[in-house]
Structure 1
Amino acid sequence: MEYGIASGTPHRMGAHLEGDTVNFAVFSAHATRIDLCLFSPDGARETARLSLPERTGDIWHGSVAGLPAGTLYGYRAHGSYAPEHGHRFNANKLLLDPYTRELRGRWINDPAVLGYDLKSSALDLSFDSRDSARFVPKSVVSDPETFAAITTPLGRPWEETLIYETHVKGATQLHPDVSAALRGTYDGLASDAVIEHLQKMGVTAVELLPVQSFINDGFLLEKGLTNYWGYNTIGFFTPEPRYFGPEGLQGFRNMVRRFHNAGIEVILDVVYNHTAEGDHRGPTLCYRGLDNASYYRLINGQPRYYVNDTGTGNTVNVSHPHVLRMVMDSLRFWVECMGVDGFRFDLATTLAREDHGFDVQGGFLDALRQDPVLAGIKMIAEPWDIGPGGYRLGQFPPKFGEWNDAYRDTVRRFWKGEAHSAQELGARLLGSAGEFDRGGRRAWSSVNFLAAHDGFTLADITRYARRHNEANGEENQDGHNANHSDNCGVEGPTEDPEITDMRIRRQRNMLATLFLSQGTPMLLAGDEIGNTQWGNNNAYCQDNEIAWLDWAAGDAEMADFVAMLAALRKAHRVLRQSRFLHAAQRPADGLRDVEWMDFQGHPLNWRDPNLSSLCLMLRASAEAAAHSDHNEAIFAIFHRTGTCEKVSVPAAPSGFQWQTCLDTASTSRGVDNVQHSALTLQGPCVVALALMPET
């Protein structure tokens, strides 16, 4: 069939079906011509090639009648192939539409996807004339009904949020109560078994490792590995097909609905800082071929090469207005059409960096803050990258929560027994005010975590003193060195009951610390059941039993303990306050909202170089005196040494009594009234007392 092409319009980017006509619009500032290529339903044969007839500004556009939903297509961009000037146009390479919402076919690691001749001594300065269409996925003209608006985000308050970071496949691939047909899929993640577990754990939000479509790195495929985590995005509007279950793409939208019905928000880990095209030696799949000099930051004076603030080869040029528009359109798409509740921005410093450096009032952050669609959703920054001035903890706008790696390291160091860590723990327990209490920010801004996908699991923090990443094929040179871990005397698995008990106690102590801290707690999936990755602290390429959650070997008692901690935090608002606590005097009763004490009830000596244990009295913030729970208080004890110690318990006010609601040294989960003025601690432990009305 022969197709005609009309001028169309530049207003909506991508391919949009209206009636029996599809409008195509794509950005390129430096192309001389852009061809629309249509393909047979199986993607194997190019059936038509039509040049987009109009250019309005830097938007190329055209409309074609008679194309049904499901039509496969791609682009070929003509222009200068001059890498030394930053241009890499090669019309022999079929390019994805940056705005496509569906993909068909898969990427194949073949030299034909490179814009240059891999065998040439000139490397990427050479030119490759092979057609890449057979080796790349095709864009799809979507049925408008497929992406009809979905339910609005849940909008749960930050103060009640408990985040569960998880991988779609890894969470379910070995789950015995998820049917085999659903394991590893969006459908399986939202199965009854998983949702019931999350609800038991008190989870209010799942944070999914990347689910925007990504490809496997060529160097991993050559080693028989794969990109498991997914930080190699190629399509910012397309759900990753490898997680499709029986319902295909609709499985993602149904997953969101099921989570929402269970009161659980969905947060996506998104990677707008770089793409899967890599450095100057990488494939030409989309952005590089459409307009390399616009989509990427290139090195001044050497535009053949890419700025590499991400450590992955390239850096997306979010400062460019059309690239910024693409990112913003993508975010709105996932909220409006896929129903998600928030985003965690990978290497967020990269996105906030202008030509002059990190800028809290730069284009990207300004665009986020003014957008009405994104106004009510959660935003979380990973506040660092490897670029200049890349570490920016506490420097993002008030709208953001931030991953707090200082919290992670401090808690690990304290329970490991490192000197001088108790002083810093005090700051972390109160929401890291030194970093976050500025510009009207709230205590929830600190996203506190003990472990995340990148690094040791909680169990491995207590099992391994060093990383064991041999399976990654990089001679154990990859991954973090500074893990602040301790194997408790034996490296790896052991049947020694004393060491096993020590490890479990330390995990419980760290978890208790997390749930007693001001800020937003985040759990790594599997930490609640003692999951191990056998010492691999960089399992990004392990799509196997190393990285999948081993539910059958899970510690049910640990899961019950975490559920209890979540219930404790939910029951006591004083543990999840939005305002920072600074030991200010409360107008209503003259008491301070925070008091630090030693075991004898005296003010804590922060200058003591041997400080290893402390007591914390938490009350409602002096700035929030009108709360109905103004009389609520928690007395928390953090005891690191193995000695038995007596702790003086503060006198309860008239009409109230202290109840023990947490003791990590005890297997009892009951609530007991405190009958004496002192408690005896049994070795390293966390104890919490709640002030309750007398009965």
Structure 2
Amino acid sequence: MRHPEFSITAGRSAPLGATFDGDGVNFAVFSQHATAMEVCLFSDDGRTELQRLRLPERDGDVWYGYVSGLRPGQFYGLRAHGPYRPDIGHRFNPNKLLLDPYAKQLTGLPIWHDALMGYQIGSNARDLSFDTRDSAPYMPRCVVKDPSFSWGEDHHPRTPIAESVIYEAHVKGLTQMHPKVAPEGTFLGLASDPMLDYLTKLGITAVELLPVQSFLTDRFLHDKSLTNYWGYQTLGFFSPDPRYLSEGKISEFQQMVARLHHAGIEVILDVVYNHTCEGNELGPTLSFRGLDNLSYYRLIKDKRYYINDTGTGNTLNLDHPMVLRMVMDSLRYWVEVMHVDGFRFDLCSTLGRTDHGFDAGASFFDAIRQDPVLTQVKLIAEPWDIGPGGYRLGGFPPPFHEWNDRFRDGVRRFWRGDPGRAPDLAGRLTGSAAEFDHSGRPATASVNLITAHDGFTLHDVVSYNTKHNEANGENNRDGHSENYSDNFGWEGPTTDTTIIEARKRRKRAMIATLMLSQGTPMLLAGDELGNSQGGNNNAYAQDNETSWIDWENADLDFLEFTRKMIRFRKDHPILRQKVFLHSRERRIDGREDLFWWRADGKPMETPDWVDPGLRMVCVEMRTASGTPVFAATESAIFVAFNAGGPATITLPVPPKGQTWVWAIDTETPDMAEQPLRKRTSEVAGQSVSVFVLEPTE
């Protein structure tokens, strides 16, 4: 087949990337240090490089040109010319086909081969050597796309954060083994009727998806016949990962979003803007390194080497205005074009790093906070990285919310029975005010979790004392060792009914704690079904039954209990207040909004709090001062968190005309609500009991 010859003319320096205007395609590429930039056009099957068109114009550091007659669907790549001087930070090699950082779609993923390296593997000079092999046979192609989509009446649900229940899920892991989902493991599978029915009945308001931007499987995993399952090695910040496209169309992602929105469910993306998949100086040249290594990455004083605050070999240089622009353009693209509702930022401390350390006023945060598009969506920080001073829980500026690992650890340790954990649990129940009650931040700034993709599942928290990561091929050295878990005397699965029931009791207590706490609850997909990973607490490389949710063996009773707790949270505004509870006077009746009680009905005093043997926390919550009066639809809720043995509790004297109603008992999960005829109640060990103050019938 004879292919047409295209000519290139002057175009526009914006927008960056490949943009179809109805007549042709404008190409614009940033590189501050290149000496020339070429666009490579490929045949319809992507195998043959047909033309190399040198971008004729440069405006500042943007190279650009226009190709008339080029249409959407055209395969292309880039080649950058410039100095190959790793000793001063430059790694240009025009023999390497490069991906456009703004590509809206990729045809696939790189095939591991030594030709992907800019240097000669095995050379004594290591990365100072220069490899002349063409990497194109092993590289995917970028695809010119018109991302327009007929959204119809789609609109963002904009669920208030105080009403949100977040569900962290993996696109493939959630759907791969569902017996009624097709096509499984894909965006369309996630948007299928069975999944939408399940999610809506569960009661969650948002799915937080592990990375769906195109990502790479690390070579060391590939060589061990493993894969990067989680996706925290981003290859393209604008393109959906092709593994989740059943028909190879980016509109599949948009269709998924539209269907989730129609069901009232928001879509939050886990995004990785702290590093790329190119690794350190011995990594491949796939895109950013070959386009302008010195601009895209943070380098140490010896420019040959990379700052590695992320533990992945490199760190993106968000201090550079064009790198920051790429990140901001990417975020806006996913909101405006793909209609997502928010982002969870992986290793967000890295995004706030400057030459002087972490700065809550760093350029990234300032750019986000002034952006009229991004300030309208949910923004969640993972508030740590491995760099110096990288743990920054509570240190992010509004409007960021933050994953709260101290909630996770505090809840696990309290229910495990660790000494002296009652005061910590009290702080977690009230929104972790010590960390978050400043700078006008709401209690919902704390994203409360007991489990996440990184670590044990909830079932494994009560089934294993130690991690079992042997399948990862690292001799069980990887993953966290501080799991604060408890196997109840037997490691892993058991047929002992006593242990089984004790584990179920503990899980119900922890789920109840999550849903009864101030803050924004996040549930790990599969926890509500009793899903296990066999004790693997770092299943990032397990794209198999280890990580896929086991729907066939779901614990349906626990599923129903989880649904019940989510409904209870939604039905009781006292649990969803944005204002911190601090025993301040209420506007409504002049009473305080928070009381801590002993089991005998007397107020907690300092000696009670410092008792290392205290295993019960009793709290009475009311509507906080500063909460609008119209939101005060109930008087009070009393909760007893009992990590000890069976006990008798005494509730406060109810006001005239009101009665305490026992609404939740995790020991008897299907218990119907029952009014108390006296102030005392017998509560089981390892249980949570909830009482609601209601008008006397």
Shorter-chain TM-score tier: over 0.9
Note the C-alpha offset of 1:378: 0.2
Residue aligning to 2:689: 687
Task: Please list, as runs of the form range in 1=range in 2, the aligned pairs for 1:237-636 lying within 5 A after superposition.
Answer: 237-246=238-247, 248-300=249-301, 302-604=302-604, 605-624=608-627, 626-629=629-632, 631-636=634-639
Task: Please list, as runs of the form range in 1=range in 2, the aligned pairs for 1:86-105 lying within 5 A after superposition.
Answer: 86-105=89-108
2:573 and 2:631 in contact (8 A); partners too: no
Write out per-residue CA displacement over residues 448-497 of structure 1, whole angstroms, 9 at most, x where no aligned residue. 00000000000000000000000000000000011001101000010000
1:176 equivalenced with 2:179 (yes/no): yes
Residue aligning to 2:49: 46
Q: 1:273 to 1:621 in 2, by over 3 A?
A: same
Equivalent residue letter for 1:665: E
Q: Which 4+ residue blocks in structure 1 deviate beyond 6 angstroms?
A: 147-150
1:59 equivalenced with 2:62 (yes/no): yes
1:30 equivalenced with 2:30 (yes/no): no
1:462 and 1:485 in contact (8 A); partners too: yes
Write out per-residue CA displacement over residues 98-124 of structure 1, whole angstroms, 9 at most, x where no aligned residue. 001011143100000000000211111
TM norm structure 1: 0.98
In structure 2, what is the Cα distance between the partners aligned to 1:656 and 1:629? 16
Write out per-residue CA displacement over residues 136-174 of structure 1, whole angstroms, 9 at most, x where no aligned residue. 111111135359899442211000000000000000110
Note the C-alpha offset of 1:607: 2.1
Could you say what secondary structure the match of 2:693 adopts? strand
Note the C-alpha offset of 1:503: 0.5
Residue aligning to 1:142: 145
Write out per-residue CA displacement over residues 389-422 of structure 1, whole angstroms, 9 at most, x where no aligned residue. 1000001112011000000000000011111111
1:208 equivalenced with 2:198 (yes/no): no
Note the C-alpha offset of 1:369: 0.7
In structure 2, what is the Cα distance between the partners aligned to 1:277 and 1:597? 55
In structure 2, what is the Cα distance between the partners aligned to 1:56 and 1:629? 59
Equivalent residue letter for 2:294: A
Which sections of structure 2, spanning at least 5 residues, go unmatched?
A: none
1:658 and 1:689 in contact (8 A); partners too: yes
2:519 and 2:576 in contact (8 A); partners too: yes
In structure 2, what is the Cα distance between the partners aligned to 1:310 and 1:336? 29
Could you say what secondary structure the match of 1:36 adopts? strand
Name whichever of 218-227 and 655-664 sits farther off: 655-664
Residue aligning to 1:156: 159
In structure 1, what is the Cα distance between the partners aligned to 2:420 and 2:13? 61
1:35 and 1:50 in contact (8 A); partners too: yes
Could you say what secondary structure the match of 1:402 adopts? strand
In structure 2, what is the Cα distance between the partners aligned to 1:196 and 1:442? 32
In structure 2, what is the Cα distance between the partners aligned to 1:42 and 1:686? 61
Write out per-residue CA displacement over residues 623-679 of structure 1, whole angstroms, 9 at most, x where no aligned residue. 2262352642110001111x2211002121112111111101114331111112100
1:17 and 1:144 in contact (8 A); partners too: no
Q: 1:628 to 1:167 in 2, by over 3 A?
A: closer
Q: 1:283 to 1:108 in 2, by over 3 A?
A: same
In structure 1, what is the Cα distance between the partners aligned to 2:125 and 2:600? 74
Could you say what secondary structure the match of 2:663 adopts? strand
Work out the percentage of aligned pairs sharing the same amino acid: 55
Residue aligning to 1:116: 119
In structure 2, what is the Cα distance between the partners aligned to 1:493 and 1:200? 29
**How many residue pairs get matched?**
691
1:83 equivalenced with 2:82 (yes/no): no
Write out per-residue CA displacement over residues 364-384 of structure 1, whole angstroms, 9 at most, x where no aligned residue. 001001111112100000000
Equivalent residue letter for 2:257: V
In structure 2, what is the Cα distance between the partners aligned to 1:105 and 1:534? 32
Could you say what secondary structure the match of 1:532 adopts? coil
In structure 2, what is the Cα distance between the partners aligned to 1:630 and 1:133? 64
In structure 2, what is the Cα distance between the partners aligned to 1:403 and 1:147? 35
In structure 1, what is the Cα distance between the partners aligned to 2:157 and 2:324? 26
Note the C-alpha offset of 1:588: 3.4
Could you say what secondary structure the match of 1:280 adopts? coil
In structure 1, what is the Cα distance between the partners aligned to 2:149 and 2:133? 35
Could you say what secondary structure the match of 1:31 adopts? coil
1:233 equivalenced with 2:246 (yes/no): no
Note the C-alpha offset of 1:319: 1.1
In structure 2, what is the Cα distance between the partners aligned to 1:232 and 1:276? 4
1:2 equivalenced with 2:5 (yes/no): yes
Q: 1:673 to 1:553 in 2, by over 3 A?
A: same
In structure 1, what is the Cα distance between the partners aligned to 2:150 and 2:141? 19
TM norm structure 2: 0.98
Could you say what secondary structure the match of 1:434 adopts? helix
Q: 1:105 to 1:449 in 2, by over 3 A?
A: closer
In structure 2, what is the Cα distance between the partners aligned to 1:394 and 1:54? 46
Could you say what secondary structure the match of 1:565 adopts? helix
In structure 1, what is the Cα distance between the partners aligned to 2:481 and 2:387? 20
Which sections of structure 1, spanning at least 5 residues, go unmatched?
A: none
In structure 2, what is the Cα distance between the partners aligned to 1:287 and 1:487? 46
1:150 and 1:337 in contact (8 A); partners too: no
2:155 and 2:261 in contact (8 A); partners too: no
1:658 equivalenced with 2:670 (yes/no): no
In structure 2, what is the Cα distance between the partners aligned to 1:443 and 1:157? 13
Equivalent residue letter for 1:25: A
Name whichever of 489-498 and 648-657 sits farther off: 648-657
Residue aligning to 2:14: 11
Q: 1:3 to 1:668 in 2, by over 3 A?
A: closer
In structure 1, what is the Cα distance between the partners aligned to 2:135 and 2:248? 30
Equivalent residue letter for 1:473: G
Could you say what secondary structure the match of 1:455 adopts? coil
Equivalent residue letter for 1:314: N
Residue aligning to 1:70: 73
In structure 1, what is the Cα distance between the partners aligned to 2:578 and 2:620? 17
